[in-house]
Amino acid sequence: MLLWEETLFKDRDLFELDHLPEHFLHREDQMNSLKFCIRPALQGGRPVNALCLGPPGTGKTTALLKLFEEIEAHSSKVIPVHVNCQMDSTRYSVFYQIYRKVFDHFPPSSGISFKRIFEKVAAAAVEQDKVLVVALDDINYLFHEKEVDHVLYSLLRAHETCPGARMGVIGVMSELALNYVLDPRVVSVFQPEEIIFPLYTRSEIRDILSRRGQMGFYPGVMDDAVLEEVVDCTERSGDLRVGIDLLKRSGLSAEKRASKRISLDDVAGSCDRSRLIHLTYALKSLKDDELLVLRLAAEQKSWRAGDLFVRFHEETDAGYTRFHEILNKLDSIRLINADFTGSGERGRSRVISVRYDPEEIMSRLSS
């Protein structure tokens, strides 16, 4: 039996989703491609723009953070800036984060325009003779908000308004089905090197989770049968984050039983909850009216788009254009299905249904 003051965890931080692993396994090719794109900046030039493509949980963000960690440790010529576009999805908020990185403090909370923030950032980069490399993580959220052209244009054409400014962009996108169409003026300067992050293979998943378990748990806590069960759940989800979270939840479940070993039942009882990581992350990025549409959609098995709009309009008085934008966003980030049928009054009608258990959605929306 596990005593009340004892724990199975040697290092709990290893099971947090924002933990940056010391050894980043099975992404050597992608890291080398990113380093190739950055190399000109280390020599004082403009970097090669890049676009990291791959499903969620395939190491894109970790690769960027590892790259930026190396840059900050070994170079004083580059200012790397990581922006989470789920949270900062407008041109102003993106440059707000860039300003904070460049000056090590936030700009004034009010009374400062985007133009002024942009000018100060560009001028500081020129004055310090440094290259700005901006990673736009989850850049697809800039498409949803129709901000992507404004952001990329401001960054990549900064040298036209501030001679000597050198800036590059690394975009990160999980929506491989998104056909991104950019303004021709942006296309002419963006031209990214595409770096593909495929799903991890089963053997790679096992290798990563085995190492995480060996380093994070005390010896004997997790046997091979438990590891294989965790790998099974992770492989089905296609998201490595599910496996990392499942290791943590299974360990906590064993501790709750005062057991010194994780059992298969601990894994089975935790798998469904870990599988919903994407839902938890996605909800954090939604605005109030987007959360409302999702809540309404979860109230019944399926909706015709017109009927769902009537309910949405009753509660918000918003028009169909905004409703249409919300549907497209919720569909693209895999929270709803919005399939067209041929049975509408005009020949095509959308049928809306949620992709998760409605009770799971409702419980998270009410918490």
- How confident is the model over 182-231, as pLDDT tens digits? 889 999 999 999 999 999 999 999 999 999 999 999 999 999 999 999 99
The verdict on residue 128 lying in a domain is yes
The pLDDT, as a whole number, for residue 226 is 98
Name which of 42-46, 107-111, 153-157 the model is least confident about.
107-111
Spatial separation of the C-alpha atoms in residues 124 and 287, rounded to whole Å: 33
The pLDDT, as a whole number, for residue 179 is 63
- Read off φ and ψ for residue 352, nearest 5 degrees: -105, 130
pLDDT band at 244 (very low <50, low <70, confident <90, very high): very high
Give CA angle at 127 (125, 130), nearest 5°.
40
- 240's CB contacts (< 8 A; 6+ apart) are 57, 58, 59, 200, 205, 208, 234
pLDDT digits (tens, 9 = 90+) for 255-309: 999 999 999 999 999 998 898 887 887 888 788 999 999 999 999 999 999 999 9
DSSP string, 75-120: -SSEEEEEEETTT--SHHHHHHHHHHHHHSSPPPSSS--HHHHHHH
Joined tokens for residue 339: 């399939």
Mark which of 196, 222, 253 sits at the end of a domain: 196
The verdict on residue 18 lying in a domain is no
The pLDDT, as a whole number, for residue 31 is 98
The verdict on residue 3 lying in a domain is no
Q: Are residues 141 and 32 in the same domain?
A: yes
The verdict on residue 280 lying in a domain is no
The pLDDT, as a whole number, for residue 176 is 66
Joined tokens for residue 318: 């918003």
pTM of the model: 0.86
Radius of gyration of the chain (CA): 23
Spatial separation of the C-alpha atoms in residues 129 and 105, rounded to whole Å: 20
Share of the chain above pLDDT 70, in %: 96
Question: How many domains does the chain fold into?
Answer: 3
Spatial separation of the C-alpha atoms in residues 42 and 78, rounded to whole Å: 7
Q: Are residues 96 and 161 in the same domain?
A: yes
Joined tokens for residue 256: 């709750």
- Residues 312/323, Cβ–Cβ less than 8 Å: yes
Q: Which domain holds residue 361?
A: 286-366
Q: Are residues 32 and 180 in the same domain?
A: yes
